[in-house]
A and B are shown apart, each in its own frame.
Chain A
Amino acid sequence: MIMDARRVAEDAARTSYGRLVALLASRDRDLAAAEDALSDAFVAALKSWPETGVPTNPKGWLMTAARNRMSNLYRHDRMRAGLADDLERHFAASMQDIGAFPDERLKLLFVCAHPAIDSAIRTPLMMQTVLGLDAARIASAFLTSPATMGQRLVRAKAKIRDAAIRFEVPDADVMPERLTFVLDAIYAAFGQAWDAVPGGDSGAVDLTAEAIFLGRLLVSLLPGSAEAKGLLALMLYCEARRGARRSADGAFVPLDEQDPALWSRDLIIEAEALLTEASAAATLGRYQTEAAIQSVHVQRPFFGETNYAALRSLYALLVRQHPGLGAWLGYSGVLLKLGEVGEALAILDDMPTERVAAYQPYWVLRAHVMRALSQLREARHAADRAIGLTEDEAVRGYLLSKLMPLVKPEATG
């Protein structure tokens, strides 16, 4: 009975955390107070449910308790006396199922990724307020200390409350720009996990599942957004290949050498469907292009080889939409595969020196390009640099055993 009450309470808190926080904070923009009230309600549930039994509507119970806690807080705070009545009205139907209340999580996502919030804290803020992750777990994913992460989260929430950032879904005229911030913040969580996980030796917490959850949430809350679908598709394509990124003995396996039998068929089918749906809207954006690139890669087993001509067109589009280092590097890599070595090198040479200095993928590609041009001294220099910049043990092993022999003098013979 006691374990059962605990399980139900935990389940209710987990599955409705973001909805409850969003609802509690939507009036007053006070995320910290909403989180505190919810955690008090959770503690009260753990105390009373084992004695009185699990209520028929656990989520409604949690929300009523959190609501009461917030109202009490405000009653003690004269300056905000008016808000207590407001909250009472807002929660008039308190014991109803949470489904009867508006889902304010979309507003919460836009608040977390507001341009007035430091871009580096937008992703952690979403992880905490929408998913209920604690600061220590988020800190571990972002390779920083729990104390630092905690402080930065507190500061961001104080800014939302004190500067009174608007708690609403943006108007159509600013929507595309504002949505980009939300998409980027979700993708940052995924990218963080994706880069950190390979060897598993960084010890970082993997937020891939959380990022995909947010991606699904965004698609369900904004069904008309093609880019939201593009982002979710992109993440699912990558996730589908998770099992193929390492060999049985833990060695790194690059994408074009992966065994497609190890890819998740279900995730690929879901991603393909999302991308098709997105394309119907005819508003092609960066995430759809990136998803389309992944789609070309997963079609390799059907054609026996990767369609580099298609990739070339997609990367040419991507560098116009989102001219980041990764996009240019991908473009250059595809040109190399197509034998357009001079063009591939021209792109590498055009990339800003200070930004590529510590960018490992750049030096790997440069080694291959220089080798294709038979400039082995340059190729070796780039390979050395790439290996020096590689943190992941499995990737370093791969480069030492596969790249180095290619750039040794005897490789020309």
Chain B
Amino acid sequence: MQYMLILNETAEDFAKQVGGEGTEEYWGGWHAYIGAMMGAGIVVNGDGLEPPHTATTVRIRDGKRLVQDGPFADSKEQLAGYFVIEVPDLDTALEWAARSPAAATGSVEVRPVMPPPQAA
């Protein structure tokens, strides 16, 4: 089964990405986590994302293209990255999710990846 770990972080976490107090610990935590996942051979793919202030949101309404600065929702935690992992079941996926630095400060949503449509 493939699961996406959707990593959400707080404004404080994002601030630590670019230097200042706690930067080293921040990146150290992520490197260790990613290293462990790579070592386990479960990563299908994954990326970190630039902070939410770089986001632009697009909607089509009444045929008109609406472009807006910022992420789709203004919430305390924002999407910071994702991993798609291949593991036997939800419980294993939850264990990996719980180990991520994002779980300690933000949150991790775990969702099964939709299987590809069946060939006719």
Contact A162 B112 (CB under 8 A): yes
A164 part of interface (Cβ distance < 8 Å) = yes
User: In the complex, what's the smallest C-beta–C-beta distance from A116 to chain B, in angstroms?
Assistant: 6
Q: Which of A78, A163, A166 is within 8 Å of B112, CB to CB?
A: A163
B77-111 CB contact bits vs A (8 Å, 1 = yes)?
A: 00000000000111110100000000000000001
Inter-chain residue pair count (beta carbon < 8 A)? 22
Assess whether A3 is interfacial by the CB under 8 Å rule: no
Within 8 A of B (CB), among A152-183: 162-166
Closest chain A residue to B94, Cβ basis = A116
Chain A interface, number of residues (Cβ within 8 angstroms): 8
Give CA–CA (A163, B2) in the complex, Å.
Answer: 10
Interface size (B, Cβ < 8 Å)?
11
CB-based nearest A residue for B115: A79
Contacts of A162 in B (CB 8 A): 112
Which residue of the partner chain, among A79, A165, A166, contacts B118 with CB atoms under 8 Å?
A79
Give the CA-CA distance A279 to B89 in the complex, in Å: 36
Q: Are B94's CB and A164's CB within 8 A? A: no
A164 to B89, CA, bound (A): 5
CB distance from B40 to the nearest CB of A (A): 17
Instruction: Tell which of B88, B90, B115, B118 touches A163, judged by Cβ atoms closer than 8 Å.
Output: B90
- Taking CB atoms and an 8 Å cut-off, the chain B residues in 19-44 that contact chain A are none
- Report Cα–Cα, A166/B88, bound state, in Å: 8
Chain A residues with Cβ below 8 Å from B94 are: 116
Contact residues in B for A163 (Cβ distance below 8 Å): 90, 111-112
Q: Could you tell me the distance in whole angstroms from the C-beta of B64 to the nearest C-beta in chain A?
A: 36
Q: B1, B89, B91, B115: which has the most chain A beta carbons within 10 Å?
A: B91
Chain A CB within 10 Å — which of B1, B90, B92 has the most? Answer: B90
Q: Is A166 in contact with B115, judged by CB distance below 8 angstroms?
A: no
Please give the residue numbers on chain B whose beta carbons come within 8 Å of chain A beta carbons, in ascending order.
Answer: 1, 88-92, 94, 111-112, 115, 118
22 contacts between A and B (CB under 8 A): A78-B118, A79-B115, A79-B118, A116-B90, A116-B94, A162-B112, A163-B90, A163-B111, A163-B112, A164-B1, A164-B88, A164-B89, A164-B90, A164-B112, A165-B89, A165-B90, A165-B91, A166-B88, A166-B89, A166-B90, A166-B91, A166-B92
The 5 A-B pairs at the shortest CB distance, nearest first, are namely A166-B91, A166-B89, A164-B89, A163-B90, A164-B1
